[in-house]
Amino acid sequence: MQNADPVAVVGAGIAGLTMALCLARQGFSTDIFEQADALDEVGAGLQLSPNASRILTDLGLLPALQDVWSEPDSIALVDGRTLRPLTDVPAGANARSRWAAPYGVLHRASLQKILLRAVRSEPLCRLHLGKRVEGDPVAAVAAVIGRRPKVVIGADGIWSQTRASIDGAGGVRFSGNIAWRLLLPGVEASTRLSASRVTAFLGPNAHLVAYPLREIDGFNLVAIIGGKPTAAAWIGQDSEERRREFAAAFENWHRDLRSMIENAVSATYWPLCTVDEGAWHNGRDLVLIGDAAHAMTPFAAQGAAMAIEDASELAHCLATCADPPAAFGRYEHARRARIARVRNRAAFNRFAYHARGPVRVARNLVLALKGPEALAADLDWLYGYDGSERR
């Protein structure tokens, strides 16, 4: 595909902004369309594993990331009822050495601001805010930019409007899990938490992940529990009923963890949904990346990372293939197996993290026997992934 061919990206979240920057590095001029009038990232913390930070480093963003993120020394697994340490995976300097890229944690809004600043500084990127792309995405984009784009890339998330224009695309499905995100001020943090560690507390039918956020001088808490689907998000103190349901999921956990949850602020509640297997492109001029294509549960903390990997791979394919259909085919071939493997890992983690009874005992024994080095080796395929080496 010629670099002069117009390309459009729908969605200016992490996926869309990364996509535009990756295209710019390949010499493509890109129009990015975002329905919101201003970019205000929702959510709280974000884990950037080495497979994602490697790509952001290649885009020249590492110095900006290092100004705001933390690089934890380890990822610890702890029993949520007894607070007994189960095992830990070395990160920090070990991540840079083993996987040749850093493992960082930061606020999602911080990453979006860094990406947005880079996009606005890139002459090949044009951002259109307050522009909702409806109906035929190609025609809608053409009406704004005055010419028909060669490619439209749907990076508009799990509730993608772009996906609706692709025959055979996957549908959205509730996963059976509910996520809560909370922020814990540093003064309220238990001594069980450390600014140098990501900690995953495991328990029956629930788990809680905690890691530091420099931006708030505190911790991000992500709790995932089993639950029923709901169309509404709960923010702050708007629903005492939802709060009671949340508290009930941790009623048999250690009192220190229950106290942390009670003292946390900015609680946001929403159902976790996935996108089923289906078509990622129309074979002509429309293609999906990130959650729009393959939203998955967060049990492997890879949602943003997969979108970042998608962006890098698709930009390369568009730059090296003669036409969009060939590029889409190569992109899909490169990404399908990878996404399937990460989905499987997330499903395994859910089973292991939420185990109860004899399965929980067996899990703890296996973790103790494997040890940190073996657990790190189990992640080599995930964190050590470098798509550029496979091309």
- If one compares 281 and 369, the residue with the highest pLDDT of the two is 281
Q: Given a cut of 80, is residue 252 above it in pLDDT?
A: yes
Q: Given a cut of 80, is residue 294 above it in pLDDT?
A: yes
> What is the per-residue pLDDT for 300?
94
Average pLDDT for residues 275-294, to the nearest whole number?
97
CA atoms of 90 and 74, how far apart (whole Å)? 4
| 159: helix, strand or coil | coil
- Tell me the pLDDT band of 246, cut-offs 50, 70 and 90: confident
Q: Which residues are catalytic?
A: 211
Q: pTM for this structure?
A: 0.94
Cα–Cα distances in angstroms (integers) from residue 380 to residues 268, 383, 389, in the given order: 33, 5, 15
Predicted confidence (pLDDT) per residue in 345-389, tens digit:
999 888 888 888 878 888 888 887 788 889 999 999 999 999 877
Query: Considering Cα of 209, then 177, then 171, then 330, what sign does the dihedral take?
Result: positive
Strand 197-203 relative to strand 74-79: parallel, antiparallel, unpaired?
Answer: parallel
Q: Given a cut of 80, is residue 229 above it in pLDDT?
A: no
Enter the CATH code of domain 175-274: 3.30.9.60
Closest to 197 measured CA to CA, from 103, 97, 101: 103
Asked whether the beta carbons of 190 and 285 are under 8 A apart, the reply is no
> What is the per-residue pLDDT for 236?
39
- If one compares 233 and 51, the residue with the highest pLDDT of the two is 51
Retrieve residue 151's tokens. 């490619």
CA atoms of 101 and 79, how far apart (whole Å)? 29
| 81: helix, strand or coil | coil
Domain assignments of the chain as residue spans, ordered by start: 7-73+101-171+276-390, 175-274
- Angle at 53 (CA atoms; ends 218, 334), nearest 5 degrees: 135
Domain 7-73+101-171+276-390 identical in fold to domain 175-274: no
- If one compares 204 and 289, the residue with the highest pLDDT of the two is 289
CA atoms of 366 and 369, how far apart (whole Å)? 5
Written out in words, the top-level CATH class of the domain with range 7-73+101-171+276-390 is alpha beta
| 334: helix, strand or coil | helix
- Angle at 335 (CA atoms; ends 27, 305), nearest 5 degrees: 75
- Tell me the pLDDT band of 390, cut-offs 50, 70 and 90: low
